[in-house]
C-alpha cells in the first residue's frame, strides 16, 4: 500500500469573495468566460457584488459528467501541503450536503476545499428542477 | 395616632417607588449561575460559563457554501476551525437601536469536542445571575432571568449546537 501524498496540486480561485480550491487533476480552465454558464457563487449560495472582468470558465468532470461553471479569478495552480489543512470541527462532520471537503489555511486566508462530485450532483439537481 | 406629616407621606412614596423595581422572586439565597451575557440584535442571551471556551473579537468569517442562513461560516481560533452562527437567524430576529458597549464578539461555546461560535453585537462577563426560572418550550433555552432590567434567555449550549448543526443538513 502506498503512503498517502503529503501535498497535492490544487486550483485556487474565487466564488465572489469566498476563496475556494479544487483538486487540480481533471479540471480544465478555459481562458474566456462564457456568459451563459452558471456562476459558481450562484451554485454555492454565496453573495457577490456583481461579476467582474476577471471571470474564467472551469470544467470539472465526475464519473463521465462534466460541469462547466464561471468562477472569479485569479485562477492559479499551487501545491497544497497537508499541514495547511485545518481539521474540520466535530460539529460540522455531520452537516448534510455541504459541498466542502474541508478548509485550508493559505497565507492568512481560509480556503474552502470544494468536493467536485458534490458540486456536479448539485448542478445536476438544479438543472433537473429547472427542466421540471 | 399621630397623623403622618407630608414629609412622611413623601418618604413613603419614595420608598414604595424604590422597591417597585425589585424582583420579588430574587433574594440573596436564590441559586446563582455564572454566565457570559451577549446581545444578538435586540435580544439578550446568556451562556453558562462551563460551556464558554473563550470570547474572541469578531473578525472575518469564511462562508460555508450552501449552508443555511444562520450558519454564517467558520473562523480559525488557535488553529481550530469553529462554525459560527447568528442567533438572530437561528432563533428569531429582532432589531434594536441599542448602542453596543463592546466591539462585536464571537462567544465560543463548547460541549465536549463540539464547538460553536455565537456572533454577539456585544458580550459581557462572566456575570453572576440568578439561576434561570421557568421551563422553556425550546430545548436550547434553559429558562429566563432578569439582569439589569433586561430579560435574558439562558441558553443550553448542548442543544443549541445540535440545533445549529442539524439545521445545517441542507
**pLDDT tens per residue across span A1-11:** 567 778 889 99
Q: Which residues of A touch B83 (CB under 8 A)?
A: 89, 91-92, 95
**Mean pLDDT value across chain A:** 83
Question: B67-76 long-range contacts, Cβ below 8 Å, gap at least 24?
Answer: B67/A45, B67/A95, B67/A98, B67/B168, B67/B170, B68/B167, B68/B168, B68/B170, B70/B164, B70/B167, B71/A95, B71/B164, B71/B167, B71/B168, B72/B119, B74/A89, B74/A92, B74/A103, B74/A110, B75/B106, B75/B117, B76/A86, B76/A105, B76/A110
CA-CA distance, B77 to A26, in Å (whole number)?
A: 34
This prediction has a pTM of: 0.72
Is the pLDDT score of B25 beyond 70?
Answer: no
Q: Which residues of B touch A20 (CB under 8 A)?
A: 65
Share of residues in chain B with pLDDT > 70 (%): 72
Q: Which of B59, B64, B159 to mutate to probe the A interface, most A CBs <10 Å?
A: B64
Q: Which residue of B has its CA nearest to A45?
A: B66
Is the pLDDT score of A85 beyond 70?
Answer: yes
A 20-79 residues with CB < 8 A to B: 20, 44-46
Q: Which residue of A has its CA nearest to B158?
A: A91
Q: Which residues of B touch A87 (CB under 8 A)?
A: 80-81
Read off the pLDDT of residues A39-64 as tens digits, 9 standing for 90 and up: 999 888 887 776 667 888 999 888 88
User: What ipTM goes with this model?
Assistant: 0.72
Average pLDDT value for residue range B113-125: 90
CA-CA distance, B142 to B155, in Å (whole number)?
A: 6
Pairing mode, strands B43-48 and B150-155: parallel
Site of grid cell 451562556: B47
Gap from A91 CA to chain B (nearest CA, Å): 5
B121 and B104 Cβ atoms separated by less than 8 Å = yes
Q: Which residue of B has its CA nearest to A118?
A: B66
CA-CA distance, A116 to B112, in Å (whole number)?
A: 32
Amino acid at each position: 500500500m502506498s503512503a498517502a501524498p503529503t501535498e497535492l496540486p490544487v486550483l485556487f480561485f474565487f466564488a465572489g469573495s469566498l476563496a475556494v480550491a479544487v483538486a487540480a487533476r481533471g479540471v480544465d480552465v478555459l481562458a474566456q468566460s462564457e456568459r451563459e454558464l452558471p456562476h459558481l457563487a450562484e451554485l454555492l449560495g454565496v453573495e457577490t457584488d456583481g461579476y467582474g472582468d476577471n471571470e474564467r470558465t472551469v470544467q470539472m468532470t465526475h464519473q463521465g459528467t462534466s460541469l462547466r461553471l464561471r468562477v472569479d479569478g485569479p485562477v492559479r495552480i499551487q501545491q497544497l501541503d497537508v499541514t495547511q489543512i485545518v481539521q474540520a470541527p466535530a460539529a460540522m462532520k455531520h452537516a448534510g450536503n455541504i459541498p466542502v471537503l474541508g478548509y485550508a489555511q493559505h497565507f492568512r486566508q481560509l480556503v474552502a476545499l470544494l468536493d467536485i462530485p458534490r458540486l456536479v450532483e448539485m448542478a445536476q439537481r438544479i438543472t433537473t428542477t429547472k427542466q421540471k | 395616632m399621630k397623623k403622618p406629616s407630608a414629609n412622611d407621606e413623601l418618604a413613603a412614596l419614595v420608598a414604595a417607588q424604590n422597591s417597585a423595581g425589585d424582583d420579588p422572586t430574587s433574594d440573596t439565597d436564590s441559586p446563582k449561575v455564572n454566565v457570559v451575557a451577549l446581545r444578538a440584535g435586540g435580544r439578550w442571551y446568556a451562556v453558562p460559563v462551563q460551556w464558554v471556551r473563550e470570547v474572541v473579537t469578531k473578525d472575518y468569517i469564511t462562508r460555508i457554501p450552501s449552508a443555511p442562513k444562520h450558519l454564517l461560516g467558520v473562523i480559525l481560533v488557535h488553529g481550530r476551525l469553529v462554525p459560527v452562527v447568528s442567533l438572530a437567524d437561528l432563533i428569531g430576529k429582532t432589531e434594536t437601536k441599542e448602542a453596543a458597549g463592546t466591539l462585536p464578539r464571537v462567544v465560543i461555546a463548547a460541549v465536549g469536542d463540539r464547538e460553536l461560535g455565537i456572533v454577539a453585537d456585544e458580550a459581557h462577563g462572566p456575570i453572576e445571575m440568578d439561576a434561570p426560572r421557568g421551563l422553556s418550550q425550546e430545548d436550547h433555552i434553559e429558562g429566563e432571568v432578569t439582569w439589569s432590567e433586561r430579560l435574558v434567555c439562558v441558553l443550553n449550549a448542548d442543544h443549541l449546537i445540535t440545533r445549529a448543526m442539524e439545521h445545517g443538513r441542507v
